[in-house]
Amino acid sequence: MSTVPEMFGSKVFNDATMRQRLPKETYKALKKTIDNGEPLDLSVANIVANAMKDWACEMGATHYTHWFQPLTGITSEKHDSFISPTADGGVIMEFSGKELVKGEPDASSFPSGGLRATCEARGYTAWDPTSYAFIKDDTLCIPTAFCSYTGEALDKKTPLLRSMDAVSNQACRILKLFGINVPRVTSTVGAEQEYFLVDKEDYKARRDLILTGRTLFGCPPAKGQEMEEHYFGVIRPAVSDYMKEVDEELWKLGILAKTKHNEVAPAQHELAPIFSTTNSAIDGNLLTMEVMKKVAERHGLVCLLHEKPFAGVNGSGKHNNWSLSAPGLNLLDPGKKPMENLRFLVFLAAVIKAVDEYQDLLRVSVASPGNDHRLGANEAPPAIISMFVGDELGEVIDALADDTEYHDHERQKMDLGVAVLPKFSKDNTDRNRTSPFAFTGNKFEFRAPGSNMNLSDVNTVLNTAVAKELREFADILESAENFEAEAMVLVKKTVKEHKRIIFNGNGYSDEWPVEAEKRGLHNLKSTVDALPTMMDEKNLRLMNDFGVMSPAEMNARYEVGLENYSKVLNIEALTMLEMANQQIVPAIIDYENQLASTIAVKKAVNAKISCNAEEHQLETLAECADIISEAINNLRIARKAAKNDPDPLGSARGFHDVVIPIMDRLRMAADHAEQVCGEDFWPLPTYTQMLWYVKD
Ligand code: ADP
Ligand code: MG
């Protein structure tokens, strides 16, 4: 086996490979594009394309693809071979600059939210040179942006790249005021990915897992996560083998897979990479999800990335660790004395104001039917967006807002009372798992995103909202006579005005929603509640002002969001109906039949013999079956009505307000029946079987 450093990035056309394979001038031009966001010449692209192709062919690749992220959020690829016919009837392998920088896939079968009609099929993909090309399945994958014939973004990457430019431009203006001249500030992301592993045979026996990614039925196992033994528990050999292979595959793809551990729920795990520039971190995360699924297949397992595969145990999130960095500087690092670190305070104030003013957009960016099961349940942060800053920074903020004096904290040493144990300094923030947006020492951790999401939306909102606040600050401070004094006044004013967004208490408590309402914070409980805020004037203006998304592009995403919500719920409702009709009701009837015949036979033998046990089970099952049957009828009608509502918002509301409560009733009755029905009769693998599978 090769060593990790040898393996790392071996399938990536990365900086080292570029430096080695490109003429010096070409390399320099490309590097300028990558580092400073400067445009690239076609003549340069031609040379890069040829070098890429040679490298890819040496690695065994035969095809290339423009790899992009349509509004479905997942990745798309169409493979073309490098072959080009020669006069003598043979082929040579060719790849031009034109083919590298631009592709023309048929755009008509991707969601566009009305941005183009089906007959206007043409779409373009455009090379994102800031994210490295890589080889997957003998295909050279070129990360690209995807837009319509008319130039509107039809993907997740384009707005993200625009937002990265926006925040860079404004952050550079601020840094200049501090005497720091840099060409670019990058937003950085580290995405912690949670997932479940289940046995492939169980998966194959569950239509709900196959079609919807989550279990729509299943009574809680006798033992769930209450013993708190799985989190950071010893990783079982079968899972460890899987994790090792995932790591290796990711390293080859240049993804900085770093941390792996068991998560809170049984059968739940996490993988975290070392952070990188936002767009490549997101490309890396999408690849990570793909690799995790593929490798699981090879181990007789299935990797579930749904936000809530199992009711009653924790769901899966994807924590978005975010910061801003200039060469050699993390702009959210408070240093030893945050109160005296004016640069940090300015950036902190901008983030506080951004999160407060655009709570609704941040909430929308994590809204999906799957994530609705997490947010607000006592396992993930609430649907109310607030910020946690910890004690030390909390005191700094109080002092700024109240204009009172602040006393620096001596960094406390921890003494565990045992001589051989090291004494170490305490961090300046504790952890608060209940907060959606927590300061964690030198970055913010947005914990609301769901495990299945493409993090582009989240970071597009974050970058653009922060850009807007930084621009406001720069506009004021660039004409300041006494920069430092005026910057401090601005920080204080901002903190005072937006302090309501800071909440260091328990986000799971019943008091918090009441308190949040008093503070005037949004509590957008479901996707359907959240989505319409996208179209608020203030939000349209934000995206438009920075050229991140036009109102038409925003509207498209709004429509796609509603459409997606209704489609997911429609599939879930249909799957439930199918399972209830074809699997659950027949199972109940079979067992009822057995009970009834047993009673009849016993009575025939001796009319006095007790049949209490059988009768009791039979009665319970009959009651469950009645509720199930009624729910089936109601669900059929409600689903149809919601689906046929011509108004997209009305349709989504129909699913949320009417269909979901019936689905809940149907499930409750079926889960009750599962508890009573004979094991040999029940047609579905149970929660106990799926969560406590042993594969060693
Ligand atoms: P925890 O479990 O405490 O949240 P982890 O170590 O699992 O911590 O994950 C923290 C994540 O934050 C890692 O992906 C890490 O690379 C990332 N991170 C650290 N510093 C930054 C930064 N400046 N910008 C973005 N992400 C960062
Ligand atoms: Mg975390």
Contact at 8 Å (CB) between 282 and 290? no
CA of 274 to the centre of ligand 1 (A): 7
**Average pLDDT of the chain, as a whole number:** 94
Q: What is the mean pLDDT of residues 471-481?
A: 97
pLDDT at 433 over 90: no
Q: How far, CA to CA in Å, does 487 sit from each of 89, 179, 490?
A: 71, 14, 5
Residue nearest atom 14 in ligand 1 by C-alpha distance: 190
Mutate to test the pocket of ligand 1, among 192, 433, 439, 447 (most ligand atoms within 8 A of CB): 192
Query: What is the atom index within ligand 1 of the atom nearest the CA of 330?
Result: 23
pLDDT score for 119: 55
Nearest ligand, CA 272:
1
pLDDT at 479 over 70: yes
267-325 pLDDT, tens digit per residue, is 999 999 999 999 999 999 999 999 999 999 999 999 999 999 999 999 999 999 999 99
Give, as one character, the DSSP assignment of residue 442: S
Closest Cα to residue 39, out of 123, 164, 149, 129?
A: 129
Mutate to test the pocket of ligand 1, among 250, 258, 275, 285 (most ligand atoms within 8 A of CB): 275
pLDDT score for 416: 73
Query: What is the atom index within ligand 1 of the atom nearest the CA of 332?
Result: 23
CA of 319 to the centre of ligand 2 (A): 6
Q: What is the mean pLDDT of residues 106-131?
A: 81
Structural element, H or E, at residue 387: strand 387-388
For the ranges 14-28, 216-230, 361-375, 635-649, the lowest mean pLDDT is seen at 216-230
Q: What is the mean pLDDT of residues 241-248?
A: 98
CA of 256 to the centre of ligand 1 (A): 12
pLDDT at 411 over 70: no
pLDDT at 238 over 80: yes
For 83, other C-beta atoms within 10 Å of its C-beta total 13
Percent of the chain beyond pLDDT 90? Answer: 82
CA of 43 to the centre of ligand 1 (A): 39
SS3 285: helix
Residue nearest atom 1 in ligand 1 by C-alpha distance: 192
Q: How far, CA to CA in Å, does 240 sit from each of 5, 91, 219, 228, 422?
A: 21, 45, 29, 20, 30
541-550 pLDDT, tens digit per residue, is 999 999 999 9
Residue nearest atom 7 in ligand 1 by C-alpha distance: 272
pLDDT score for 108: 81
Contact at 8 Å (CB) between 508 and 494? no
CA of 231 to the centre of ligand 2 (A): 13
CA of 389 to the centre of ligand 2 (A): 15
Contacts of 392 (CB under 8 A, 6+ apart): 338, 409, 428, 429
Pair type for strands 329-330 and 318-326: antiparallel
Mutate to test the pocket of ligand 1, among 330, 443, 445, 466 (most ligand atoms within 8 A of CB): 443
Tokens of 562: 């509603």
Compute the distance between CA of residue 587 and CA of residue 313 in angstroms, rounded to an integer.
26
For residue 459, report the phi and psi dihedrals to the nearest 5 degrees.
-80, -25
Give, as one character, the DSSP assignment of residue 538: H
203-221 pLDDT, tens digit per residue, is 999 999 999 999 999 999 9
The band of 460, judged by pLDDT with boundaries at 50, 70 and 90, is very high
pLDDT at 254 over 80: yes
For 646, other C-beta atoms within 10 Å of its C-beta total 6
Query: What is the atom index within ligand 1 of the atom nearest the CA of 431?
Result: 3
Handedness of CA 418, 423, 425, 429 (dihedral sign): negative
44-63 pLDDT, tens digit per residue, is 999 999 999 999 999 999 99
Q: Residues lining ligand 2 (ion), CB within 5 A?
A: 192, 319
* Exposure on the CB side of residue 73, measured as CA atoms within 13 A: 19
| Angle at CA of residue 328, ends 323 and 330, nearest 5° | 25
Return the higher-pLDDT residue of 137 and 431: 137
CA of 191 to the centre of ligand 2 (A): 9
CA of 318 to the centre of ligand 2 (A): 8
487-500 pLDDT, tens digit per residue, is 999 999 999 999 99
Q: What is the mean pLDDT of residues 655-664?
A: 98
Residue nearest atom 22 in ligand 1 by C-alpha distance: 323
pLDDT score for 132: 94
Q: What is the mean pLDDT of residues 510-526?
A: 95
Residue nearest atom 11 in ligand 1 by C-alpha distance: 190
For 473, other C-beta atoms within 10 Å of its C-beta total 23
Identify the bridge partners of residue 147 per DSSP, sorted by sequence position.
124, 153
347-386 pLDDT, tens digit per residue, is 999 999 999 999 999 999 999 999 999 997 777 889 999 9
pLDDT score for 339: 87
- Domain architecture of the chain: domains with CATH: 4-155 (3.10.20.70), 164-216+240-409+432-549 (3.30.590.10), 564-691 (1.20.120.1560)
Tokens of 489: 């006044």
pLDDT score for 122: 80
For 404, other C-beta atoms within 10 Å of its C-beta total 9
Q: What is the mean pLDDT of residues 109-126?
A: 79
CA of 2 to the centre of ligand 1 (A): 28
pLDDT score for 110: 87
pLDDT score for 118: 52
Tell me the Ramachandran region of residue 645: left when phi exceeds 0, alpha when psi lies from -120 to 50, beta otherwise: beta
pLDDT score for 428: 64
pLDDT score for 216: 98
Mutate to test the pocket of ligand 1, among 271, 321, 330, 432 (most ligand atoms within 8 A of CB): 321
Nearest ligand, CA 270:
1
Q: What is the mean pLDDT of residues 326-347?
A: 94
Identify the bridge partners of residue 438 per DSSP, sorted by sequence position.
388, 445
Residue nearest atom 5 in ligand 1 by C-alpha distance: 272
The band of 133, judged by pLDDT with boundaries at 50, 70 and 90, is very high
For residue 694, report the phi and psi dihedrals to the nearest 5 degrees.
-120, 130
Q: How many helices (H) and strands (E) does the chain have?
A: 25, 20
CA of 235 to the centre of ligand 1 (A): 22
| Angle at CA of residue 507, ends 561 and 519, nearest 5° | 80
Nearest ligand, CA 258:
1
Pocket of ligand 1 (CB under 6 A): 188-190, 192, 259, 272-275, 319, 321-323, 330, 442-443, 445
CA of 192 to the centre of ligand 2 (A): 6
Compute the distance between CA of residue 275 and CA of residue 530 in angstroms, rounded to an integer.
29
Return the higher-pLDDT residue of 693 and 195: 195
597-637 pLDDT, tens digit per residue, is 999 999 999 999 999 999 999 999 999 999 999 999 999 99
pLDDT score for 67: 96
Give, as one character, the DSSP assignment of residue 196: E
CA of 246 to the centre of ligand 1 (A): 19
Residue nearest atom 23 in ligand 1 by C-alpha distance: 323
Query: What is the atom index within ligand 1 of the atom nearest the CA of 273?
Result: 14
Query: What is the atom index within ligand 1 of the atom nearest the CA of 272?
Result: 14
Compute the distance between CA of residue 534 and CA of residue 551 in angstroms, rounded to an integer.
10
pLDDT score for 120: 67
CA of 431 to the centre of ligand 2 (A): 9
Nearest ligand, CA 271:
1
